[in-house]
Amino acid sequence: MESNRRTAINTAIFSAIANALLAVVKGIAGVFGNSYALIADAIESTTDVFASLLVLFGLKYSTRPADENHPYGHGKAEPLITFIVVGILVISATVIAYESIQHILTPHKVPEKFTLIVLAVIVILKEIFYRFVSKKSDKTKSTSLKADAWHHRSDAITSLLAFIGISIAIYMGEGYETADDWAALLASGFIVYNAFLIFRPALGEIMDEHVYDDMIVEIRKVAESVQGVQGTEKCFVRKAGMSFLVDLHLTVKGEISVKKGHEIAHEVKNSIQNEMPEIADVLIHIEPEE
């Protein structure tokens, strides 16, 4: 778990630095290249910097050990941070949409050709960043890191749309000057859609939604391999940050002693946590076999 924690935190730091550098590049290119689509892209990257910093804070806080006031740990802080990140995305999309409409209604010059090179490089980099951060989020089981990964994918999409819009404006000539503004407006819709994709799993985590069938199958398999276990009944899994909490009902022979049942429960718990280190705790209820 400590290894996952370090991986997640280092990835969040990487995202914050990458977003900050790209926001500067986009902003400069947008201003000198006369492209609001690039400026809108820079706005989103700037919000992504704050989002990445929030993710970093959430990861550090959510991995704090359990204490007297938080016996189940602080893991639920992570999806709460994700909700804030989603809010930032929606606000940035609203700003971009509003400014895009204003630019569409106001005549302006066609963007410079060099902005296409900048955007092409950004699209490639952002897709690479998405795949890197997404892989780390899958490894660490981090909801907020997955949200950060989707930020990179969202940025890649908006940059691609900006590339298309600017290309139309440059090569179609007079009458198509607002094409990149329309691209920015369309990109704001994609940002909102991606915000929903980020929001949905975080909501499921807060609500302890049942979405861990594969893990439950593995838990039952490990439990039933322990000597003395006759079978398993109820098995519930809930996520808390980068770890999981399990409630499991075991059946044992009815004639064994309470002490023996207690020993079997401990052995099952140890076996499950050894096989699946992402599981922070297992609460076991013993029932006699009928």
CATH of 2-206, one of 1.20.1510.10, 2.170.120.40, 1.20.140.10, 1.20.58.220: 1.20.1510.10
Q: In the chain, where does the domain assigned CATH 1.20.1510.10 lie?
A: 2-206
Query: Do residues 19 and 41 make contact, with C-beta atoms less than 8 angstroms apart?
Result: no
**Numbered ranges of CATH 3.30.70.1350 in the chain:** 213-288
Structure pTM? 0.70
In the chain, what's the furthest Cα-to-Cα distance? 89
Instruction: Read off the tokens for 149.
Output: 């990964």
SS (H, E, C) 191-212: HHHHHHHHHHHHHHHHCCCCCC
The highest-confidence range among 142-146, 160-164, 230-234, by mean pLDDT, is 230-234
- Is pLDDT of 36 > 80? no
The percent of the chain in helix, strand and coil, each rounded to the nearest 5, is 70, 10, 20
pLDDT digits (tens, 9 = 90+) for 74-86: 888 888 888 887 8
Q: Which helix (H) or strand (E) holds 288?
A: strand 279-288
Neighbouring CB atoms inside 10 A of 167's CB total 19
In CATH, the architecture of 213-288 is 2-Layer Sandwich (3.30)
Least confident segment among 32-46, 104-118, 190-204, 226-240: 32-46
